[in-house]
Amino acid sequence: MARKEDKREENERFFDNIRKEEGIKELEEGILYKVISEGTGNRHPNDNSVVTVHYRGTLINGREFDNSRKELCPAAFRVGTLIDGFRTALINMRIGDRWIIYITWKRGYGKRSSGPIPGYSTLIFDIELLGIA
């Protein structure tokens, strides 16, 4: 049990430190992000939208757990089916936006592990929104 508590505390400290960095913004749901490039237009996805994105997911130690850029084409998702933090970021993005987002474990996979992602993990995504259908 102590190991899980250590993991949770380590991830919470990381998240609190990121919050203090220059250029970091916070969405209303507690999701932190940094704008890499800005898109155009006023249209944002909603829960029913299917989005086309390039993304790369890592943990706080830098270990990559997913990367759409390694595939032959971008990924497509229905926004409402995604983990809360990823969904929250997407509904605030416009086509062409590229953000680094930081998702606290509470808005990611929570206490449970999911494949290569241990429980209590802060998730870091580099997301580029390419299209909305």
Alpha-carbon distances of 71 from 67, 111, 123, rounded to whole Å: 8, 29, 20
DSSP-assigned letter for residue 42: S
> Cβ contacts of residue 103 below 8 Å, gap of 6+?
31, 83, 84, 85, 86, 89, 122, 123, 124, 125
Alpha-carbon distances of 92 from 46, 87, 102, 123, rounded to whole Å: 9, 9, 14, 18
Selected from 3.40.50.300, 3.90.1300.10, 3.10.50.40, 3.90.740.10, the CATH number assigned to the domain covering 2-132 reads 3.10.50.40
> Cβ contacts of residue 91 below 8 Å, gap of 6+?
44, 45, 46, 47, 79
- In this predicted structure, the answer to whether residue 2 has a pLDDT above a threshold of 70 is no
Q: What are phi and psi of 112, to 5 degrees?
A: -85, 155
User: In the chain, pLDDT over 70 holds for what percent of residues?
Assistant: 98
- What is the distance between the alpha carbons of residues 90 and 129, in angstroms, rounded to a whole number? 8
- In this predicted structure, the answer to whether residue 130 has a pLDDT above a threshold of 70 is yes
Write the pLDDT tens digit of every residue in 65-89: 999 999 888 999 999 999 999 999 9
Quote the mean pLDDT of the chain.
94
Q: Which residues face 127 on adjacent strands?
A: 55, 99
